[in-house]
Protein backbone atom coordinates (compact mmCIF):
# COMPACT_ATOMS: atom_id res chain seq x y z
CA UNK A 1 0.00 0.00 0.00
CA UNK A 2 1.29 3.44 -1.00
CA UNK A 3 0.03 6.11 1.40
CA UNK A 4 0.27 9.86 0.83
CA UNK A 5 -0.56 12.06 3.84
CA UNK A 6 -1.16 15.81 3.76
CA UNK A 7 -2.14 18.35 6.41
CA UNK A 8 -4.09 20.35 3.81
CA UNK A 9 -5.00 19.48 0.20
CA UNK A 10 -1.92 19.29 -2.03
CA UNK A 11 -1.37 21.71 -4.87
CA UNK A 12 -1.01 19.64 -8.05
CA UNK A 13 -0.19 21.80 -11.10
CA UNK A 14 -2.02 20.91 -14.30
CA UNK A 15 1.22 20.25 -16.19
CA UNK A 16 1.89 17.25 -13.95
CA UNK A 17 -1.17 15.54 -15.38
CA UNK A 18 0.29 15.98 -18.87
CA UNK A 19 3.58 14.27 -18.05
CA UNK A 20 4.07 10.75 -19.47
CA UNK A 21 4.40 7.93 -16.94
CA UNK A 22 7.52 5.76 -16.82
CA UNK A 23 5.68 2.67 -18.04
CA UNK A 24 2.31 1.37 -19.21
CA UNK A 25 0.03 -1.12 -17.50
CA UNK A 26 0.91 -4.66 -18.58
CA UNK A 27 -1.86 -7.11 -19.64
CA UNK A 28 -3.32 -8.84 -16.57
CA UNK A 29 -1.50 -6.52 -14.15
CA UNK A 30 -3.31 -5.10 -11.14
CA UNK A 31 -2.93 -1.44 -10.27
CA UNK A 32 -1.02 -0.59 -7.10
CA UNK A 33 -2.93 0.15 -3.90
CA UNK A 34 -2.69 3.91 -3.40
CA UNK A 35 -4.31 5.88 -0.59
CA UNK A 36 -4.32 9.65 -0.10
CA UNK A 37 -5.19 11.22 3.25
CA UNK A 38 -5.81 14.84 4.18
CA UNK A 39 -6.21 16.05 7.76
CA UNK A 40 -7.97 19.35 7.01
CA UNK A 41 -9.95 20.26 3.91
CA UNK A 42 -10.03 23.95 2.97
CA UNK A 43 -13.64 25.28 3.09
CA UNK A 44 -13.57 27.31 -0.17
CA UNK A 45 -16.08 29.76 -1.64
CA UNK A 46 -19.41 28.01 -1.24
CA UNK A 47 -21.45 31.11 -2.11
CA UNK A 48 -19.76 31.47 -5.51
CA UNK A 49 -20.31 27.77 -6.17
CA UNK A 50 -24.02 28.12 -5.46
CA UNK A 51 -24.22 31.15 -7.74
CA UNK A 52 -22.57 29.51 -10.75
CA UNK A 53 -24.60 26.29 -10.30
CA UNK A 54 -27.96 27.97 -9.72
CA UNK A 55 -28.36 26.69 -6.17
CA UNK A 56 -30.11 28.69 -3.42
CA UNK A 57 -28.42 29.70 -0.20
CA UNK A 58 -28.59 27.20 2.67
CA UNK A 59 -27.15 26.57 6.13
CA UNK A 60 -25.47 23.33 5.02
CA UNK A 61 -22.92 22.40 2.36
CA UNK A 62 -24.15 21.63 -1.17
CA UNK A 63 -24.42 17.92 -1.88
CA UNK A 64 -21.61 17.82 -4.46
CA UNK A 65 -19.35 20.38 -2.78
CA UNK A 66 -17.16 17.80 -0.93
CA UNK A 67 -16.22 16.37 -4.35
CA UNK A 68 -14.60 19.72 -5.17
CA UNK A 69 -12.79 19.79 -1.82
CA UNK A 70 -11.22 16.37 -2.45
CA UNK A 71 -10.33 16.90 -6.13
CA UNK A 72 -6.68 17.74 -5.22
CA UNK A 73 -6.48 14.32 -3.54
CA UNK A 74 -7.78 12.65 -6.71
CA UNK A 75 -5.17 14.52 -8.76
CA UNK A 76 -2.39 13.51 -6.38
CA UNK A 77 -3.43 9.87 -6.79
CA UNK A 78 -3.87 10.06 -10.58
CA UNK A 79 -0.48 11.72 -11.12
CA UNK A 80 1.46 9.40 -8.79
CA UNK A 81 4.41 7.94 -10.73
CA UNK A 82 3.59 4.40 -9.53
CA UNK A 83 0.16 4.51 -11.21
CA UNK A 84 0.85 3.31 -14.78
CA UNK A 85 -2.04 5.22 -16.35
CA UNK A 86 -1.90 8.63 -18.09
CA UNK A 87 -3.64 11.12 -15.80
CA UNK A 88 -4.64 13.35 -18.71
CA UNK A 89 -6.32 10.40 -20.41
CA UNK A 90 -8.77 9.60 -17.60
CA UNK A 91 -12.40 10.34 -18.51
CA UNK A 92 -14.98 10.82 -15.74
CA UNK A 93 -17.85 8.44 -16.59
CA UNK A 94 -19.86 7.85 -13.38
CA UNK A 95 -20.32 9.05 -9.83
CA UNK A 96 -22.13 7.68 -6.78
CA UNK A 97 -22.49 10.03 -3.80
CA UNK A 98 -23.92 9.22 -0.37
CA UNK A 99 -24.35 11.97 2.19
CA UNK A 100 -25.08 10.38 5.55
CA UNK A 101 -26.16 13.58 7.26
CA UNK A 102 -26.23 17.31 6.56
CA UNK A 103 -22.80 18.95 6.80
CA UNK A 104 -22.61 22.36 8.44
CA UNK A 105 -20.85 25.22 6.69
CA UNK A 106 -18.34 25.62 9.52
CA UNK A 107 -17.57 21.97 10.26
CA UNK A 108 -13.93 20.90 10.17
CA UNK A 109 -13.51 18.08 7.63
CA UNK A 110 -10.86 15.49 6.82
CA UNK A 111 -10.77 12.96 3.97
CA UNK A 112 -9.20 9.88 2.51
CA UNK A 113 -9.39 8.44 -0.99
CA UNK A 114 -8.19 5.09 -2.25
CA UNK A 115 -7.99 3.34 -5.59
CA UNK A 116 -10.60 0.69 -4.78
CA UNK A 117 -11.33 -1.29 -7.95
CA UNK A 118 -10.46 -1.83 -11.62
CA UNK A 119 -12.12 -3.69 -14.50
CA UNK A 120 -11.68 -4.03 -18.23
CA UNK A 121 -14.62 -2.87 -20.36
CA UNK A 122 -15.07 -2.53 -24.11
CA UNK A 123 -13.72 1.03 -24.19
CA UNK A 124 -10.67 0.41 -21.98
CA UNK A 125 -9.97 0.18 -18.25
CA UNK A 126 -12.34 1.56 -15.62
CA UNK A 127 -11.03 2.50 -12.18
CA UNK A 128 -12.95 3.43 -9.03
CA UNK A 129 -11.80 6.03 -6.53
CA UNK A 130 -13.48 5.59 -3.15
CA UNK A 131 -13.54 8.83 -1.17
CA UNK A 132 -14.66 9.31 2.44
CA UNK A 133 -15.12 12.63 4.21
CA UNK A 134 -15.13 12.82 8.00
CA UNK A 135 -16.27 15.39 10.57
CA UNK A 136 -14.51 14.79 13.92
CA UNK A 137 -14.03 11.14 13.01
CA UNK A 138 -17.62 10.60 11.85
CA UNK A 139 -18.00 9.58 8.20
CA UNK A 140 -20.53 12.06 6.83
CA UNK A 141 -20.03 11.81 3.05
CA UNK A 142 -18.65 9.27 0.62
CA UNK A 143 -18.41 8.79 -3.10
CA UNK A 144 -17.24 6.38 -5.77
CA UNK A 145 -15.81 8.22 -8.77
CA UNK A 146 -15.40 6.04 -11.86
CA UNK A 147 -12.94 7.05 -14.57
CA UNK A 148 -12.18 5.40 -17.91
CA UNK A 149 -8.68 5.04 -19.35
CA UNK A 150 -8.86 4.50 -23.13
CA UNK A 151 -5.10 3.99 -23.33
CA UNK A 152 -5.57 0.41 -22.06
CA UNK A 153 -6.96 -2.14 -24.50
CA UNK A 154 -10.46 -3.15 -23.41
CA UNK A 155 -12.39 -6.39 -23.69
CA UNK A 156 -15.97 -7.29 -24.48
CA UNK A 157 -18.37 -6.21 -27.15
CA UNK A 158 -21.91 -4.97 -27.57
CA UNK A 159 -23.53 -1.58 -27.85
CA UNK A 160 -24.07 0.55 -24.77
CA UNK A 161 -27.74 0.53 -23.78
CA UNK A 162 -29.15 3.98 -23.14
CA UNK A 163 -32.03 4.54 -20.70
CA UNK A 164 -35.49 5.29 -22.00
CA UNK A 165 -36.50 8.97 -21.97
CA UNK A 166 -38.65 10.04 -19.03
CA UNK A 167 -42.16 9.89 -20.60
CA UNK A 168 -44.06 12.28 -18.33
CA UNK A 169 -41.50 14.33 -16.42
CA UNK A 170 -42.56 16.01 -13.21
CA UNK A 171 -40.12 18.76 -14.09
CA UNK A 172 -38.62 19.74 -17.45
CA UNK A 173 -36.57 22.87 -18.05
CA UNK A 174 -34.18 24.14 -20.70
CA UNK A 175 -30.67 25.29 -19.82
CA UNK A 176 -28.66 27.86 -21.75
CA UNK A 177 -24.94 27.52 -21.15
CA UNK A 178 -22.92 30.67 -21.97
CA UNK A 179 -19.45 30.46 -23.55
CA UNK A 180 -17.64 31.52 -20.36
CA UNK A 181 -19.37 29.01 -18.06
CA UNK A 182 -16.38 26.64 -18.01
CA UNK A 183 -14.06 29.44 -16.93
CA UNK A 184 -16.49 30.62 -14.25
CA UNK A 185 -16.90 27.13 -12.81
CA UNK A 186 -13.15 26.50 -12.98
CA UNK A 187 -12.58 29.63 -10.88
CA UNK A 188 -14.74 28.06 -8.16
CA UNK A 189 -13.75 24.39 -8.34
CA UNK A 190 -10.08 24.78 -9.33
CA UNK A 191 -10.35 22.46 -12.36
CA UNK A 192 -8.59 24.42 -15.11
CA UNK A 193 -8.42 21.55 -17.58
CA UNK A 194 -7.99 23.32 -20.95
CA UNK A 195 -10.88 21.38 -22.51
CA UNK A 196 -13.26 23.50 -20.39
CA UNK A 197 -11.81 26.96 -20.94
CA UNK A 198 -11.60 28.22 -24.52
CA UNK A 199 -11.85 26.94 -28.12
CA UNK A 200 -8.12 27.46 -28.64
CA UNK A 201 -7.24 25.32 -25.61
CA UNK A 202 -9.89 22.66 -26.29
CA UNK A 203 -8.98 21.97 -29.95
CA UNK A 204 -5.63 20.25 -29.26
CA UNK A 205 -7.59 17.65 -27.26
CA UNK A 206 -10.05 16.93 -30.07
CA UNK A 207 -12.89 19.25 -29.07
CA UNK A 208 -14.01 21.97 -31.52
CA UNK A 209 -15.32 24.04 -28.61
CA UNK A 210 -14.87 23.87 -24.83
CA UNK A 211 -17.10 21.50 -22.87
CA UNK A 212 -18.66 22.10 -19.48
CA UNK A 213 -17.47 20.13 -16.45
CA UNK A 214 -19.60 17.06 -15.76
CA UNK A 215 -19.78 17.96 -12.08
CA UNK A 216 -21.27 21.36 -12.96
CA UNK A 217 -24.06 19.48 -14.76
CA UNK A 218 -24.63 17.33 -11.69
CA UNK A 219 -24.65 20.30 -9.31
CA UNK A 220 -27.12 22.11 -11.57
CA UNK A 221 -29.28 18.97 -11.65
CA UNK A 222 -29.31 18.89 -7.84
CA UNK A 223 -30.64 22.46 -7.89
CA UNK A 224 -33.45 21.41 -10.23
CA UNK A 225 -34.31 18.35 -8.12
CA UNK A 226 -34.65 20.54 -5.01
CA UNK A 227 -33.63 17.72 -2.69
CA UNK A 228 -34.33 18.29 1.03
CA UNK A 229 -30.73 17.36 1.82
CA UNK A 230 -30.72 19.57 4.90
CA UNK A 231 -33.12 17.16 6.62
CA UNK A 232 -32.42 13.66 5.26
CA UNK A 233 -29.51 11.43 4.20
CA UNK A 234 -29.38 11.25 0.42
CA UNK A 235 -27.85 9.14 -2.35
CA UNK A 236 -27.12 10.52 -5.81
CA UNK A 237 -25.83 8.65 -8.86
CA UNK A 238 -25.02 9.88 -12.35
CA UNK A 239 -23.60 8.51 -15.60
CA UNK A 240 -22.01 10.85 -18.12
CA UNK A 241 -22.46 9.90 -21.79
CA UNK A 242 -21.70 12.88 -24.04
CA UNK A 243 -20.12 16.27 -23.38
CA UNK A 244 -22.06 19.52 -23.60
CA UNK A 245 -20.30 22.10 -25.77
CA UNK A 246 -20.08 25.77 -24.85
CA UNK A 247 -22.01 27.81 -25.67
CA UNK A 248 -24.84 25.31 -25.72
CA UNK A 249 -28.30 24.23 -24.66
CA UNK A 250 -29.64 21.22 -22.83
CA UNK A 251 -32.98 20.02 -21.48
CA UNK A 252 -33.20 18.69 -17.93
CA UNK A 253 -36.06 16.29 -17.11
CA UNK A 254 -36.95 14.59 -13.83
CA UNK A 255 -39.57 12.03 -12.92
CA UNK A 256 -41.71 11.91 -9.83
CA UNK A 257 -40.70 9.48 -7.10
CA UNK A 258 -40.82 5.83 -8.17
CA UNK A 259 -39.61 3.01 -5.89
CA UNK A 260 -38.04 5.60 -3.62
CA UNK A 261 -36.04 7.31 -6.38
CA UNK A 262 -36.39 10.24 -8.76
CA UNK A 263 -34.83 9.63 -12.17
CA UNK A 264 -33.39 12.47 -14.20
CA UNK A 265 -31.66 12.97 -17.52
CA UNK A 266 -30.00 15.71 -19.51
CA UNK A 267 -30.43 15.78 -23.28
CA UNK A 268 -29.60 17.97 -26.23
CA UNK A 269 -32.20 19.53 -28.47
CA UNK A 270 -32.16 16.50 -30.77
CA UNK A 271 -32.70 14.12 -27.86
CA UNK A 272 -29.05 13.04 -27.64
CA UNK A 273 -28.30 11.90 -24.11
CA UNK A 274 -25.66 13.82 -22.15
CA UNK A 275 -26.17 12.38 -18.66
CA UNK A 276 -28.68 10.46 -16.58
CA UNK A 277 -29.06 9.37 -12.98
CA UNK A 278 -31.25 9.07 -9.92
CA UNK A 279 -31.61 10.60 -6.47
CA UNK A 280 -32.86 8.77 -3.36
CA UNK A 281 -33.61 9.94 0.14
CA UNK A 282 -32.25 7.35 2.58
Residues 203 and 97 in one domain: no
Q: Is residue 132 part of a domain?
A: yes
Same domain, 175 and 121: no
41-61 in b/e form (b: 16+ CB < 10 A) is beebebeebbebbebeeeebb
230, 109: one domain: no
pLDDT value of position 159? 58
Q: Are 177 and 112 within one domain?
A: no
> d(Cα 94, Cα 105) in Å, to the nearest integer?
27
Domain hosting residue 189, numbered range: 171-281
Burial of 160 (0-12, 13-18, 19+ CB in 10 A): exposed
Residue 166 domain-assigned?
no
Q: How many domains does the chain have?
A: 2
Does one domain contain both 177 and 145? no
Q: Are residues 136 and 218 in the same domain?
A: no
Q: What pLDDT is stored for residue 240 in this prediction?
A: 95
> Per the confidence metrics, is the pTM higher than 0.85?
yes
Does any domain span residue 139?
yes
- Evaluate whether residue 23 is within a structural domain: no
Give the residue from 119, 149, 179 where a domain finishes. 149
**Is the model's pLDDT at 47 over the cut of 80?**
yes
* CA-closest candidate to residue 222, choices 186, 171, 188: 171
Higher pLDDT, residue 13 or 200: 200
Bigger pLDDT: 228 or 86?
86
Amino acid sequence: MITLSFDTPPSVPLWRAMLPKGRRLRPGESLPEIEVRCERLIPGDVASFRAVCGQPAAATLPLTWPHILVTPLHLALATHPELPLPAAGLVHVRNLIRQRRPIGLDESLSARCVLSDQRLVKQGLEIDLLTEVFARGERVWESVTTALCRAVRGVGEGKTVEPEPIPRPERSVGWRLPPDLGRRYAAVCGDYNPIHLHPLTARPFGFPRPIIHGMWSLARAVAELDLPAAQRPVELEVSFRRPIFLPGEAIFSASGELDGARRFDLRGRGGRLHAFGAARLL
